[in-house]
Amino acid sequence: AQSVTQPDIHITVSEGASLELRCNYSYGATPYLFWYVQSPGQGLQLLLKYFSGDTLVQGIKGFEAEFKRSQSSFNLRKPSVHWSDAAEYFCAVEGTGGFKTIFGAGTRLFVKA
Amino acid sequence: GAGVSQTPSNKVTEKGKYVELRCDPISGHTALYWYRQSLGQGPEFLIYFQGTGAADDSGLPNDRFFAVRPEGSVSTLKIQRTERGDSAVYLCASSEGTAGANVLTFGAGSRLTVL
């Protein structure tokens, strides 16, 4: 069965600084990987997804993530954080044998002026 | 519909009561999911449907929880003999249900409080 670990419960970055949120997964084969964002009072929204091919994927709002098979990781990055990026970020994995999608515990991002 | 609709948005009930939470997915989406999100946690998988059938119900915590999707669209999550530990936000999501990288569209959730 697949599982997801997000090691950082919360992260604080200054506005304009770069960001990296960590995600490690456990799955026997190459999974499908996702990052979702949940802003206060909002529903979960897809940021980006990895299916296959190019291991660096681009998403909305200037986010990108890199799949590294050797490290079982799918870290989320953004070169310059905006105050509106403050939210909770969830990494998720879907096993290739079905449609069950498992989420990590989330990382809450705080942005300081 | 244009998005995933969940009702009620808030439900307060007493311990031991029966509760139903409804999800109306995006029209044409064949896959429907239920998750539970407790404060400070990620969404916890409960069950998903492909069409009318429960394809995977391995996340249902016990037999007090049951979900149906009789016509392959609207789904109802049913919780019997509610307990205080059932208090959480129950999220519904739907997807096209095609093989490979199933993108979930989530509803706003139903917040359940058991007193």
**DSSP letter at B61?**
-
Closest Cα of chain A to B30: distance in Å?
11
d(CA A13, CA A1): 34
List the one residue out of A61, A36, A93, A24 whose CA is nearest residue B91.
Answer: A36
Instruction: Please judge whether B100 and A51 are an interchain contact, meaning their C-beta atoms are less than 8 angstroms apart.
Output: yes
Contact between residue A105 and residue A10 where contact means Cβ atoms under 8 Å apart: no
Q: Can you tell me the mean pLDDT for B38-55?
A: 91
- Greater model confidence, A94 or B34: B34
Write the pLDDT tens digit of every residue in A30-83. 789 999 999 987 889 999 999 888 899 999 999 999 999 999 999 999 999 999
The minimal CB distance from A98 to the residues B40, B42, B56 is found for B56
Do residue A44 and residue B56 have CB atoms under 8 angstroms apart?
A: no
pLDDT in tens, A89-107: 999 998 766 678 899 999 9
